[in-house]
């Protein structure tokens, strides 16, 4: 029995008045099983998978590789194609786009497109000039239950988990919108949108597998960020196929971290570092520690030195991404001063820790880190 098979058969039996079941999000095995139930050979499952994950078809009419009566049978059985649709687009002056992606139940979730490369490999002459480079920031839940004090998404609370299809579907909807060609263009995925991926672990990892195996994006181009959910980090370490790992550290000691990230009372900084140390790293892989600089709260010289010491002591191959806090309505923190940001970075470097300052993207359209909130308007 393939994963999800029981549930699938039940849905078939009870079809008719049942809510429509999206095909997008099903694994190859599940698609083949669906075809099998309709008396179809396995290659039909493969064709369906190609239509969903390679051709990005949105309606049964588009799926020309399947005979018409088979498309009808799928529809009569209660299936819909189910690729999520972009309901609204907000465009920033820096080229960033924020989308509201419509999920099946009328809810929307936020996804961000950030054009432009990381610059790391530019100028080596091996790339075609017209190659597109971009990063897509993907949401894993609608809202979030973690309650970090500086984050706008936290204000929503957790509305619900996203399904694997809704997570992978955000990526495909944006790839389609931007006319991306897999294999030609360089696309990075960051699971850093709304929600805590490790509190929706199974759907998140199912989505990763779909994106790697069916859509064709390498896992080495993906990064997942967690607020430090220890059981999730431990499971993640055992995955054969997995994105790179980023940890939202955001404070240099438990006292400050408990204030800004109350989840620290459940898992201390040490608990998190211990779990991270047990994640087997690939060649040259480093863990990213994200550190949101909150003016006057965690941005002092001694904080930087404490972070450097923490990471050195943990003996984890790491780098630190410094993020200037992005303001949001009703979130009571201050942006750090530019000179404090620069000092923080240089203290980390002096302490032997590579540190980078992340350029804020799409702040004017509420697309920057921690600004995602399910809004129909741009404010
Ligand atoms: N829930 C996960 C991933 C989504 S948040 C996590 O917390 O890691 C992605 C990043 O945005 C995290 O590093 C988080 O600390 C940061 N962040 C949250 N609110 C922010 C804000 N207002 N300004 C800048 N960064 C913020
Ligand atoms: Fe959730 Fe991440 Fe925001 Fe914390 S920072 S509330 S974990 S989305």
Between 328 and 138, residue with greater pLDDT: 138
Q: What mean pLDDT, rounded, does the chain reach?
A: 90
Across the range 170-188, mean pLDDT stands at 97
Across the range 338-354, mean pLDDT stands at 98
Atom 3 of ligand 2, residue of closest alpha carbon: 151
Q: Given 137, 148, 151, 369, which residue is catalytic?
A: 369
What's the confidence (pLDDT) of residue 104? Answer: 73
What's the confidence (pLDDT) of residue 117? Answer: 59
- CB 196 near ligand 2, within 6 Å: yes
Dig out the tokens for 12 from the structure. Answer: 């078939």
- Reference 298, options 184, 116, 150; nearest CA is 150
Among 323, 361, 368, name the best residue to mutate to test ligand 1's pocket (greatest count of ligand atoms within 8 A of Cβ).
323
Separation CA 317–CA 300 (nearest Å): 24
Between 171 and 9, residue with greater pLDDT: 171
Atom 18 of ligand 1, residue of closest alpha carbon: 370
Residue 6 has pLDDT above 80, yes or no: no
Residues with CB under 6 Å of ligand 1 are: 150-151, 192, 196, 225-227, 248, 250, 290, 292, 323, 325-326, 328, 369-370
Residue 362 has pLDDT above 90, yes or no: no
Separation CA 182–CA 207 (nearest Å): 17
Q: What is the per-residue pLDDT across 213-250, written as a single tens digit (0 to 9) for each?
A: 999 999 999 999 999 999 999 999 999 999 999 999 99
Separation CA 172–CA 53 (nearest Å): 8
Q: What is the per-residue pLDDT across 284-315, written as a single tens digit (0 to 9) for each?
A: 999 999 999 999 999 999 999 999 999 999 99
Where residue 273 falls among pLDDT bands split at 50, 70, 90?
very high
- CB 144 near ligand 2, within 6 Å: yes
What's the confidence (pLDDT) of residue 211? Answer: 98
Ligand 2 atom nearest residue 194's Cα: 8
Q: What is the per-residue pLDDT across 126-140, written as a single tens digit (0 to 9) for each?
A: 444 458 999 999 999
Q: What is the per-residue pLDDT across 28-81, written as a single tens digit (0 to 9) for each?
A: 999 999 999 999 999 999 999 999 999 999 999 999 999 999 999 999 999 999
Specify whether the CB–CB gap between 206 and 27 falls below 8 A: yes
Ligand that lies nearest to the alpha carbon of residue 193, given by its number in the listed order = 1
Specify whether the CB–CB gap between 336 and 294 falls below 8 A: yes
Atom 15 of ligand 1, residue of closest alpha carbon: 248
- CB 154 near ligand 2, within 6 Å: yes
Q: How far does the centroid of ligand 1 lie from the alpha carbon of residue 369, in Å?
A: 5
Q: Is 148 a catalytic residue?
A: no
Separation CA 40–CA 13 (nearest Å): 18
Q: How far does the centroid of ligand 1 lie from the alpha carbon of residue 140, in Å?
A: 13
Q: How far does the centroid of ligand 2 lie from the alpha carbon of residue 148, in Å?
A: 6
Ligand that lies nearest to the alpha carbon of residue 323, given by its number in the listed order = 1
Q: Given 97, 110, 219, 306, which residue is catalytic?
A: 110
pLDDT-wise least confident of 13-17, 110-114, 309-313: 13-17
Kindly report the backbone phi and psi dihedral angles of residue 249, in degrees, each rounded to the nearest multiple of 5, phi listed first.
Answer: -80, -60
Q: How far apart, in Å, are the Cα atoms of 271 and each of 234, 265, 274, 275?
A: 11, 11, 5, 6
Q: How far does the centroid of ligand 1 lie from the alpha carbon of residue 120, in Å?
A: 24
β-strand pairing of 97-102 with 85-91? antiparallel
183: left (phi over 0), alpha (psi -120 to 50) or beta: left
What's the confidence (pLDDT) of residue 329? Answer: 85
Locate the DSSP E strands across the chain. Answer: 21-22, 79-80, 85-91, 97-102, 108-115, 133-137, 141-143, 158-161, 186-191, 222-226, 244-248, 287-293, 318-324, 355-358
Q: What is the per-residue pLDDT across 148-158, written as a single tens digit (0 to 9) for each?
A: 999 999 999 99
- CB 134 near ligand 2, within 6 Å: no
Helix axes 301-314, 338-350, angle to 10 degrees: 30
Q: Is 285 a catalytic residue?
A: no
């Amino acid at each position: 029995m393939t994963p999800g098979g029981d549930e699938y058969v039940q849905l078939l039996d009870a079809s008719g008045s049942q809510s429509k079941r999206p095909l997008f999000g099903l694994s190859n095995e599940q698609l083949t099983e669906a075809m099998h139930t309709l008396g179809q050979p396995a290659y039909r499952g493969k064709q369906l998978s190609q239509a969903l994950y390679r051709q990005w078809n949105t309606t049964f009419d588009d799926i020309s590789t399947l005979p018409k009566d088979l498309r009808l049978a799928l529809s009569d059985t209660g299936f819909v194609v189910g690729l999520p649709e972009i309901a609204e687009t907000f465009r920033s002056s820096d080229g960033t786009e924020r989308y509201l992606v419509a999920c099946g139940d009328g809810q929307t979730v936020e996804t961000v497109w950030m054009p432009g490369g990381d610059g790391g490999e530019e100028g080596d002459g091996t790339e075609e000039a017209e190659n597109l480079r971009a990063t897509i920031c993907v949401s894993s839940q609608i809202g979030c239950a973690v309650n970090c004090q500086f984050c706008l998404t936290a204000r929503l609370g957790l509305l619900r988990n996203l399904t694997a299809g809704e997570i992978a579907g955000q990526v495909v909807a944006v790839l389609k919108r931007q006319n991306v060609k897999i294999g030609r263009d360089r696309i990075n995925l960051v699971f850093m949108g709304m929600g805590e991926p490790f509190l929706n672990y199974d759907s998140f990892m199912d989505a990763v597998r779909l994106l790697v195996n069916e859509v064709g994006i390498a896992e080495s181009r993906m990064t997942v960020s967690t607020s430090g959910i220890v059981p999730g980090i431990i499971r993640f370490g055992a995955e054969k196929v997995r994105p790179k790992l980023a940890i939202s550290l955001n404070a240099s000691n438990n006292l400050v971290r408990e204030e800004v990230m109350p989840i620290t009372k459940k898992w201390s900084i040490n608990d998190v570092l211990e779990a991270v140390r047990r994640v087997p790293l690939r060649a040259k892989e480093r863990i990213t520690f994200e550190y949101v600089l909150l003016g006057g709260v965690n941005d002092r010289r001694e904080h930087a030195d404490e972070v450097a010491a923490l990471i050195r002591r943990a003996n984890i191959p790491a780098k630190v991404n410094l993020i200037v806090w992005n303001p949001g309505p009703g979130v009571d923190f201050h942006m750090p001063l530019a000179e404090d940001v620069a000092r923080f970075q240089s203290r980390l470097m002096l302490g032997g820790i590579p540190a980078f300052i992340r350029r804020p993207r799409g702040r004017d359209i509420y697309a920057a880190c921690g600004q995602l909130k399910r809004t129909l308007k741009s404010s």
